[in-house]
């Protein structure tokens, strides 16, 4: 049995790692909630495994999403992940040549060059099987080392990678990353020294070997090098479960579970823990997070997830996120940072028990209508939007009623964002009762924050929930209202909850296209900047919000448009306070450009239905 004492650190470390992973994974899977376990069962059978495996290959190995975000960063991670896998697979194949048919101990392929000294057969090297493998193994090792060089450069000069900030590492991370960085150079040294003695290396290791042999006592050095290589591997495996590299195995598990349809719920559960452990703290999310503008970098997602993982989240960190979703867009692992943040807030605020018994007596006048318009709490603080919508609705001839004309019951989303689900449920139930009673078929709201909760949390059978940008477009396209366009230039700001939150990017733009000439903003659609006024953030003070707002305005007004258009009362009010430029809601632009619709046109529109 080929064995040498130096394999112990590697082998012990590997066994330890596998044991920890086994315990941790079974614990997670066992504590999945009922629906989670059901989905797991179905998932395994209904063929979801294949797209999941494909995603594991494309993401965990090739890091396709990160590649799209940042080419150098993508290549570096791919070189490590994909490179290392190749090394293991090809190493095993190579070891088959020399194992003579019987099973090799698992460490054998890793340290093959120690056990087998197959001399190079020079001119025809490549055509022989061993020669081919020698070449391939050296090539893959070189591929990984190139990634390592990039990693070292990034650590020193992250700016060259286009990253303003890199993650500050915790002490476990430091141990793990150093050991990781030593693994492949030590392998190179070990194989080169051995090649120096037995000339068994590939193009890289052999040349290095003969080079070292010239001035170093390679025969004495190669054995300690193998020891160092094995120890580096061992240390890496032992520290992995507590370091950011736990993300390697956990992400694979996450991808499968996600494909089976499991999502982070309203309360912290084992799946949200899996997501937290899947965060490699690569730092891509830190740069896009606008919390940096407010000098609150410690509550950017990478650091918050780390604090959750090590059980040390402080209130400020938890409460300090606008839940704008920019990080979720760029996260290579697509971790649902928002759901985890809200679940953590549930834990933080679960003692509180808001109760709205007083709403039971609230019965507005009966407002039977086809279209129900809901301005929302914030809508009442931007009367121009309300006025515009009422003018348009009147002009459209639709049978509408203004649901929260004299005071509204809040839609419940701000409570949800603070993790107070039971309280939000009370409001949701009351509003649902009011909407159903009105008998309306279409429910239109001006506020994206309301739209998202009405759309996702409310059960409104037979009622179509629309944001007013969608509804106005429909009115124009159906001819119920006519608008004319002007030459004025405008920039459209995607409100977080409408764009990223509800994936409505195009309808507002199509509508605006018929009204104004639309300039593009440097950051828009998925990367749109948050206005800073978000109700998602619980503890930021006014001056910090102002900094975020001003940074966003700089980007939005770069092309000096005549007007800045948005589709959310909160964004409008926040921007309005910070600029001399004209800030308008999309409804206001429509109402300004309304043209009288002749009777005939109305009838044809009616017929067109």
Please give the residue ranges that form the binding site for another protein (CB under 8 A). Answer: 315, 319, 349, 351-356, 358-359, 361-362, 377-378, 380-381, 406-410, 412, 414-415, 418, 420, 427, 533, 535, 538-543, 570, 573
Smallest separation, CB 368 to another protein (Å): 23
Nearer to another protein, 33 or 576 (CB): 576
Contacts of 486 (CB under 8 A, 6+ apart): 515, 516, 593
Q: How many angstroms separate the CA atoms of 149 and 429, rounded?
A: 58
Smallest separation, CB 437 to another protein (Å): 18
Nearer to another protein, 298 or 539 (CB): 539
Q: Describe the crossing of helices 383-396 and 468-477 by its angle, rounded to 10 degrees.
A: 30
Handedness of CA 261, 264, 270, 274 (dihedral sign): positive
Smallest separation, CB 539 to another protein (Å): 5
Smallest separation, CB 492 to another protein (Å): 22
- Characterize 303-326 residue by residue with b for buried, 16 or more Cβ atoms within 10 angstroms of its Cβ, and e for exposed: bbbbbbbeeebeeebbbbbbbbbb
Q: How many angstroms separate the CA atoms of 576 and 322, rounded?
A: 19
Smallest separation, CB 500 to another protein (Å): 19
Nearer to another protein, 295 or 542 (CB): 542
Contacts of 173 (CB under 8 A, 6+ apart): 243, 244, 281
Q: Give the Cβ contact number of residue 4 at 10 Å.
A: 14
| HSE value, Cβ hemisphere, 13 Å, CA-based, for 97 | 17
Pair 195, 201: CB distance under 8 Å: yes
Nearer to another protein, 238 or 435 (CB): 435
Nearer to another protein, 279 or 409 (CB): 409
Burial of 234 (0-12, 13-18, 19+ CB in 10 A): buried
Nearer to another protein, 255 or 343 (CB): 343
Pair 375, 447: CB distance under 8 Å: yes
What does DSSP say about strands 482-483 and 594-595: parallel, antiparallel, or unpaired? antiparallel
Smallest separation, CB 316 to another protein (Å): 9
Nearer to another protein, 542 or 599 (CB): 542
Smallest separation, CB 432 to another protein (Å): 16
Smallest separation, CB 535 to another protein (Å): 4
Q: How many angstroms separate the CA atoms of 49 and 387, rounded?
A: 53
Nearer to another protein, 122 or 351 (CB): 351
Nearer to another protein, 391 or 573 (CB): 573
Q: Which phi-psi region, left, alpha or beta, contains residue 479 (left: φ > 0; alpha: ψ -120 to 50)?
A: left
Smallest separation, CB 17 to another protein (Å): 40
């Amino acid at each position: 049995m080929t064995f040498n004492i130096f394999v112990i650190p590697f082998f012990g470390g590997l066994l330890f790692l596998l044991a920890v992973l086994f315990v941790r994974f079974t614990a997670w899977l066992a504590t999945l909630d009922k629906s989670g376990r059901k989905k797991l069962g179905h998932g395994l059978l209904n063929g979801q495994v294949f797209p999941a495996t494909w995603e594991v290959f494309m993401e965990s190995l090739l890091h396709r999403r990160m590649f799209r975000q940042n080419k150098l960063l993508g290549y570096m991670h791919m070189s490590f992940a994909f490179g290392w896998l190749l090394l293991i697979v090809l190493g095993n194949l190579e070891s088959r040549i020399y194992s003579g048919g019987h099973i090799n101990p698992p460490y054998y392929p890793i340290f093959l060059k120690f056990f087998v000294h197959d001399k190079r057969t020079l001119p025809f090297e490549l055509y022989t099987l061993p020669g081919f493998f020698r070449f391939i193994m050296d090539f893959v090792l070189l591929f990984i080392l190139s990634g390592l060089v990039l990693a070292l450069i990034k650590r020193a000069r992250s700016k060259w990678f286009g990253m303003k900030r890199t993650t500050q590492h915790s002490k476990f991370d430091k141990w793990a990353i150093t050991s990781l960085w030593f693994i492949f150079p030590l392998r190179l040294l070990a194989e080169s020294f051995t090649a120096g003695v037995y000339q068994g290396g590939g193009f890289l290791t052999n040349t290095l070997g003969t080079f070292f042999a010239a001035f170093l006592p390679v025969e004495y050095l190669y054995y300690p090098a193998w020891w160092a290589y094995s120890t580096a591997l061992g240390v890496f495996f032992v520290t992995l479960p507590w370091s950011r590299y736990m993300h390697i195995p956990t992400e694979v598990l996450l991808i499968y579970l996600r494909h089976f349809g499991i999502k982070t719920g309203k309360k912290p559960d084992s799946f949200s823990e899996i997501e937290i452990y899947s965060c490699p703290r690569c730092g891509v999310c830190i740069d896009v997070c606008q919390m940096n503008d407010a000098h609150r970098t410690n509550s950017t997602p990478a650091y918050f997830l780390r604090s959750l993982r090590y059980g040390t989240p402080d209130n400020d960190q938890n409460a300090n996120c606008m839940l704008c979703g920019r990080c979720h867009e760029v996260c290579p692992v697509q971790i649902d940072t928002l759901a985890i943040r809200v679940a953590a807030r549930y834990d933080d605020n679960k003692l509180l028990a808001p109760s709205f018994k007083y709403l039971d007596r609230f019965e507005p006048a009966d407002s039977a209508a086809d279209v129900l318009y809901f301005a929302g709490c914030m809508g009442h603080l931007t009367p121009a939007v309300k006025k515009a919508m009422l003018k348009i609705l009147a002009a459209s001839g639709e049978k509408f009623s203004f649901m929260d004309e004299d005071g509204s019951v809040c839609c419940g989303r701000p409570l949800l964002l603070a993790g107070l689900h039971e309280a939000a449920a009370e409001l949701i139930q009351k509003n649902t009762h009011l909407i159903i009673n009105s008998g309306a078929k279409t429910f239109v709201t001006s506020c994206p924050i309301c739209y998202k909760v009405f759309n996702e949390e409310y059960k409104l059978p037979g009622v179509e929930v629309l944001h007013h940008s969608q509804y106005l477009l429909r009115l124009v396209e159906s001819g119920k209202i006519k608008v004319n366009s002007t030459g004025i230039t405008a920039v459209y700001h995607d409100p977080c909850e409408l764009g990223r939150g509800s994936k409505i990017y195009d309808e507002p733009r199509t509508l605006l296209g018929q009204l104004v000439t639309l300039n593009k903003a440097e950051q828009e659609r998925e990367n749109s900047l948050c206005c800073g006024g978000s109700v998602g953030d619980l503890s930021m003070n006014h001056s910090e919000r102002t900094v975020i707002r001003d940074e966003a305005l700089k980007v939005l007004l770069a092309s000096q448009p005549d007007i800045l258009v948005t589709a959310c009362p909160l964004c409008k009010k926040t921007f309005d306070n910070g600029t001399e430029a004209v800030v308008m809601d999309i409804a206001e632009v429509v109402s300004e450009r309304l043209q009288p619709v002749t009777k005939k046109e109305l009838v044809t529109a009616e017929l067109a239905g």
